[in-house]
C-alpha cells in the first residue's frame, strides 16, 4: 500500500515538487508539468509526453536529452488537463512544432486533443499521437482501441530521437506511428495497487492465482491462472507476444527486437532478472536478436505486483533511434556530447486568471448567486460520495472517479465564488467554473464536466435572468456536447446514459409549461432511474471496456455521479423558490 503521503488529494502535486527539486540538472518546473532544464534546442521539434501520476518514471522521469522535451503531469491516474498540456507545450516549443504523445486512454485523448486545437489556434504546428501497445486490451482487428502501457518508452524514444536528429514534425510523427505499429506488450499481475489514502487495493487476485493481461491503473486482468514459476511466467509473456507479430515481421527467426521487462511496482529487480534470464533464452531460441534490453521499473502503478514484457520489432532506422544516447532522470543510455547551451523557448501559462469579468445585468448576477449555491451543493454531494464513486469505478476501471470529481467540483466551486465576488453574471460564473473543473480534475470526467458547465454558461449568458427554457436548452446543448466530445451514445454505459434522458425529460417538461423546479425534479428522477439501469449494461467505451463482464451488476461511476448531482441541484432549486 502507499504509506507515505500528507493530504491524498495533494499527492500528485507534492510528488512532482519533490521530483523537480531532486532533478534540477535535467528538468525545470512549469505550470502543468516539467520541461528540459536547458530548453529545447532552437529549431528542433518538441516532443511533449504526458499522462496521469502514479506511473513513475512515466512521464516526468523521461524528460531530458534524447528523450522528451517536456511532460504534462496529471493527478493520480488521471490525464493532465488541456490547459496543463498546452502550458507545457508552449514552454517546450522552439519554433519547429510540437508532437504531443500519450498512452491511449479516454481522458488523455480528450485533453491532448483539446490542447492541440488550442495550440493550433495560437499558430503552433502541432500533432498528437496515442501509443497502443497493450495486446490484452483489444484484439488484433481493433489495435486502435488498445491501451498504452510500457510500450510508451520505446515509442516515445523513437520519436524523440528522430526529433533530436533534426527531422521535421511530420516525419517525427511518422516515426512514432511506425515504432508504435511494431511495439507490443503483455502483462501479468499478482495484486492490485492501493491509491494514496485508500484503505484497500483496487483489485485483489485470489491467493495462488495471477491476473493475465493487466492494465497500468490497477485494472484487473482479462483472465486468471495459477501463479507460475518465474520460468513459466517468462514462457507465457514471450509465447503470447510471439503469437502476434506485426506486419513486416513474418517470423521471429533472424529478427531484431528492443526488449523491455517492466516491473509494475512491487516486483523487485532481482525477481525481474530471474524472469529476464528465461525471456532472453526463449527469444534467442526463437531466433530473435535482442538489442539494448531494459529490465526495471519503467511504467508503474504504485505498489501493484505485476510484470509486463514489451517487444519493439526493429528495422535499421528504429534500431538507430532505440540505441541513440539519452540522459533523463530515469533513463540513460550512451554518451552525449557537451551539455546543451540553454535556449529560451516559449512561455508556459502563468497560473492566474486576471482577465476582467465582463459586465452583467443585475438579474444575471442574482442568478449567479443561485448557481454558486448549486455548485456548492454539487461539491458537497460529490465529497460525501467520493469513496463510493471510487469503489464503483474500481470494479472495472481505475478507481479514481471520486478523486477526480472531488478535485473538479471543489475547484469549480472556488472559481465560481471568486467570479461572483468580482460581479460575474451566471454565464461567466459557469464558464470560469467549467475551466477550473476541467483544469483541476483532468481525466475523462474532467473534460466532460468542463463541457457540461460551459454549455450551461453559454446558454445562460450574462444579460438576462435565466428562464426555464434557457436552462433546458443549455442542458440539451451539454448533452450534445458530451456526445460530440466523447463519442459515446446511449447504451455504451457512460454518463451519456443519464445525460440524454435527463436533458430530454427536462426539455419536454419545460415545453409543456412545467415550472423549472418541478421539471428538474422529473428530470432528476429520470436520471436516477437511468443511472441504476446502467448496472445491466456492458461498457463499450472508456476504461471499463476491456473488463466488460466484471462491470455487469454495477452501475457506471460517471452515470451515478451525474444522477447524484442532478438531485443535489434540485434541492437548491426547491429551496430557492
Ligand atoms: N467516451 C465517453 N463519453 C462519455 N462519458 C465517458 C466516456 N468515457 C468514459 N466516460 C465516463 O467517464 C467516467 C469515468 O470518469 P473518470 O473517472 O474521470 O475516468 P478516467 O479515469 O477513465 O479518466 C465513466 O464512468 C463514464 O461515465
Ligand atoms: O493515468 C492515466 C489516466 O488516464 P485517464 O484516461 O484520464 O483515466 C493515463 O494518463 C496514463 O497515461
**Ligand 1 pocket, Cβ-based, cut-off 6 angstroms:** 78, 106-107, 393, 397-398, 400-401, 404, 443-445, 448, 482, 486-488, 494-496, 541-543, 556-559
pLDDT at residue 550, rounded to an integer? 77
Pocket mutation for ligand 1, best pick of 76, 215, 402, 448 (most atoms within 8 Å of C-beta): 448
pLDDT in tens, 393-428: 988 778 889 999 999 999 999 999 999 999 999 999
Question: Coil, strand, or helix at residue 291?
Answer: strand
What distance in angstroms lies between residue 445's CA and the mean position of ligand 2's atoms? 11
Contact, 537 vs 396, CB < 8 A?
no
CATH architecture assigned to 362-575: Alpha Horseshoe (1.25)
Q: Which ligand is nearest to the CA of 437?
A: 1
Can you tell me the distance from the alpha carbon of 263 to that of 190, in angstroms, rounded to the nearest whole number?
Answer: 12
**Ligand 2 pocket, Cβ-based, cut-off 6 angstroms:** 51-52, 74, 77-79, 102-103, 105-108, 217, 398, 443-444
Residue nearest atom 15 of ligand 1, based on CA coordinates: 445
> Which of 24, 213, 197, 34 has the alpha carbon at shortest distance from 135?
213
pLDDT in tens, 313-354: 999 999 999 999 999 999 999 988 877 777 767 777 766 667
What distance in angstroms lies between residue 46's CA and the mean position of ligand 2's atoms? 22
Which pLDDT band holds residue 220 (cuts at 50, 70, 90)? low
CA distances from 294 to 69, 79, 176, 380 (A): 21, 26, 19, 47
> Across the chain, what does the average pLDDT equal?
94
Can you tell me the distance from the alpha carbon of 194 to that of 201, in angstroms, rounded to the nearest whole number?
Answer: 4
Which pLDDT band holds residue 263 (cuts at 50, 70, 90)? very high
What distance in angstroms lies between residue 11's CA and the mean position of ligand 2's atoms? 16
pLDDT in tens, 533-561: 999 998 887 666 666 677 899 999 999 99
> Cell numbers at residue 416, please?
465560481
pLDDT at 298 over 90: yes
Helices (H), 74-168: 82-92, 106-121, 152-164
Q: Which residues are catalytic?
A: 217
pLDDT in tens, 446-498: 999 999 999 999 999 999 999 999 999 999 999 999 999 999 999 999 999 99
76's enclosing H/E stretch is strand 70-76
Q: Which ligand is nearest to the CA of 76?
A: 2
pLDDT at residue 323, rounded to an integer? 98
The count of other CB atoms within 10 Å of the CB of residue 458 is 17
pTM of the model: 0.90
Helices (H), 309-361: 316-323
Contact, 59 vs 23, CB < 8 A?
no
The complex's ipTM? Answer: 0.95
> Which of 107, 103, 47 has the alpha carbon at shortest distance from 80?
107
Can you tell me the distance from the alpha carbon of 481 to that of 500, in angstroms, rounded to the nearest whole number?
Answer: 11
Can you tell me the distance from the alpha carbon of 199 to that of 226, in angstroms, rounded to the nearest whole number?
Answer: 26
Helices (H), 422-556: 426-441, 443-460, 468-486, 496-511, 516-533, 548-551
What distance in angstroms lies between residue 418's CA and the mean position of ligand 2's atoms? 30
Can you tell me the distance from the alpha carbon of 312 to that of 376, in angstroms, rounded to the nearest whole number?
Answer: 50
Question: Coil, strand, or helix at residue 295?
Answer: strand
What distance in angstroms lies between residue 328's CA and the mean position of ligand 2's atoms? 22
pLDDT at residue 337, rounded to an integer? 80
- The strands making up 223-226's β-sheet, listed across from edge to edge, are 223-226, 209-212, 183-191, 305-314, 256-263, 289-296
Question: Coil, strand, or helix at residue 126?
Answer: strand
Summarize the confidence of residues 370-387 as an average pLDDT.
97
Boundaries of every domain in the chain = 1-131, 180-192+203-324, 362-575
> Cell numbers at residue 200, please?
484497500
Residue nearest atom 6 of ligand 2, based on CA coordinates: 107
What distance in angstroms lies between residue 300's CA and the mean position of ligand 2's atoms? 12
Residues 6+ apart with CB under 8 A from 340: 36, 38, 39, 41, 65
User: What number does the ligand 1 atom closest to the CA of 110 have?
Assistant: 1
pLDDT at 261 over 80: yes
Contact, 302 vs 2, CB < 8 A?
yes
CATH architecture assigned to 1-131: 3-Layer(aba) Sandwich (3.40)
DSSP tag of 107: H
187's enclosing H/E stretch is strand 183-191
Question: Coil, strand, or helix at residue 335?
Answer: coil
Q: Which ligand is nearest to the CA of 54?
A: 2
Pocket mutation for ligand 1, best pick of 80, 82, 106 (most atoms within 8 Å of C-beta): 106
CATH of 180-192+203-324, one of 3.30.1180.20, 3.10.560.10, 3.40.1210.10, 3.40.710.10: 3.30.1180.20
CA 502, 508, 510: angle at the middle one, nearest 5? 100
Can you tell me the distance from the alpha carbon of 202 to that of 194, in angstroms, rounded to the nearest whole number?
Answer: 6
Can you tell me the distance from the alpha carbon of 187 to that of 168, in angstroms, rounded to the nearest whole number?
Answer: 35
Q: Which ligand is nearest to the CA of 152?
A: 2
Amino acid at each position: 500500500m502507499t504509506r507515505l503521503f500528507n493530504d491524498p488529494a495533494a499527492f500528485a502535486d507534492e510528488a512532482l515538487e519533490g521530483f523537480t527539486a531532486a532533478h534540477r540538472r535535467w528538468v525545470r518546473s512549469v505550470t502543468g508539468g516539467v520541461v528540459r532544464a536547458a530548453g529545447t534546442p532552437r529549431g528542433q521539434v518538441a516532443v511533449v509526453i504526458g499522462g496521469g501520476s502514479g506511473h513513475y518514471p512515466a512521464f516526468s522521469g523521461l524528460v531530458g536529452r534524447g528523450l522528451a522535451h517536456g511532460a504534462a503531469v496529471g493527478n493520480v491516474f488521471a490525464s493532465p488537463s488541456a490547459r496543463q498540456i498546452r502550458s507545457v507545450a508552449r514552454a517546450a516549443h522552439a519554433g519547429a512544432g510540437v508532437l504531443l504523445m500519450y498512452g491511449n486512454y479516454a481522458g488523455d485523448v480528450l485533453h491532448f486533443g483539446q490542447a492541440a486545437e488550442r495550440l493550433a489556434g495560437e499558430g503552433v504546428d502541432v500533432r498528437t499521437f496515442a501509443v497502443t501497445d497493450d495486446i490484452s486490451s483489444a484484439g488484433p482487428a481493433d489495435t486502435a482501441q488498445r491501451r498504452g502501457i510500457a510500450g510508451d518508452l520505446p515509442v516515445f524514444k523513437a520519436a524523440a530521437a528522430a526529433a533530436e536528429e533534426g527531422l521535421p514534425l511530420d516525419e517525427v510523427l511518422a516515426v512514432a506511428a511506425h515504432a508504435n505499429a511494431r511495439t507490443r506488450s503483455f502483462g501479468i499481475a499478482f495484486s492490485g495497487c492501493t491509491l494514496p489514502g485508500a484503505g484497500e487495493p483496487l483489485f485483489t487476485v485470489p491467493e495462488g492465482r495471477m491476473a493475465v493481461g493487466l492494465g497500468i491503473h490497477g485494472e484487473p486482468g482479462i483472465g486468471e491462472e495459477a501463479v507460475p514459476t518465474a520460468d513459466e511466467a517468462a514462457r507465457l509473456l514471450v509465447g503470447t507476444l510471439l503469437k502476434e507479430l506485426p506486419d513486416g515481421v513474418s517470423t521471429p527467426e533472424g529478427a531484431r527486437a528492443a526488449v523491455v521487462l517492466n516491473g509494475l511496482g512491487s516486483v523487485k529487480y532481482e525477481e525481474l532478472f530471474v524472469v529476464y534470464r528465461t525471456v532472453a533464452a526463449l527469444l534467442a531460441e526463437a531466433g530473435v536478436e535482442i538489442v539494448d534490453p531494459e529490465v526495471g521499473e519503467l511504467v508503474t502503478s504504485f505498489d501493484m505486483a505485476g510484470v509486463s514484457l514489451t517487444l519493439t520489432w526493429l528495422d535499421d532506422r528504429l534500431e538507430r533511434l532505440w540505441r541513440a544516447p539519452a540522459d533523463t532522470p530515469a533513463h540513460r543510455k550512451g554518451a552525449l556530447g557537451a551539455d546543451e547551451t540553454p535556449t529560451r523557448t516559449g512561455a508556459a501559462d502563468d497560473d492566474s486568471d486576471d482577465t476582467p469579468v465582463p459586465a452583467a445585468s443585475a438579474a444575471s448576477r442574482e442568478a449567479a448567486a443561485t448557481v454558486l449555491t448549486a455548485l456548492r451543493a454539487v461539491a458537497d454531494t460529490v465529497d460525501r460520495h467520493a469513496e463510493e464513486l471510487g469503489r464503483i469505478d474500481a470494479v472495472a476501471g481505475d478507481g479514481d472517479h471520486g478523486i477526480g470529481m472531488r478535485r473538479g467540483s471543489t475547484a469549480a466551486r472556488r472559481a465560481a465564488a471568486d467570479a461572483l465576488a468580482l460581479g460575474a453574471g451566471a454565464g461567466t460564473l459557469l464558464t470560469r467554473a467549467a475551466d477550473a473543473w476541467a483544469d483541476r480534475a483532468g481525466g475523462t470526467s474532467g473534460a466532460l464536466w468542463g463541457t457540461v458547465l460551459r454549455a450551461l454558461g453559454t446558454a445562460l449568458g450574462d444579460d438576462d435572468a435565466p428562464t426555464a427554457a434557457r436552462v433546458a436548452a443549455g442542458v440539451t446543448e451539454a448533452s450534445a456536447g458530451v456526445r460530440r466530445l466523447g463519442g459515446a451514445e446511449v447504451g455504451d454505459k457512460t454518463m451519456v446514459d443519464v445525460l440524454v434522458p435527463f436533458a430530454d425529460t427536462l426539455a419536454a417538461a419545460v415545453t409543456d409549461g412545467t415550472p423549472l423546479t418541478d421539471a428538474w425534479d422529473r428530470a432528476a428522477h429520470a436520471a436516477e432511474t437511468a443511472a441504476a439501469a446502467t448496472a445491466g449494461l456492458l461498457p463499450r467505451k472508456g476504461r471499463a471496456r476491456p473488463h466488460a463482464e466484471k462491470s455487469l451488476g454495477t452501475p457506471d461511476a460517471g452515470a451515478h455521479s451525474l444522477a447524484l448531482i442532478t438531485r443535489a441541484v434540485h434541492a437548491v432549486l426547491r429551496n430557492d423558490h
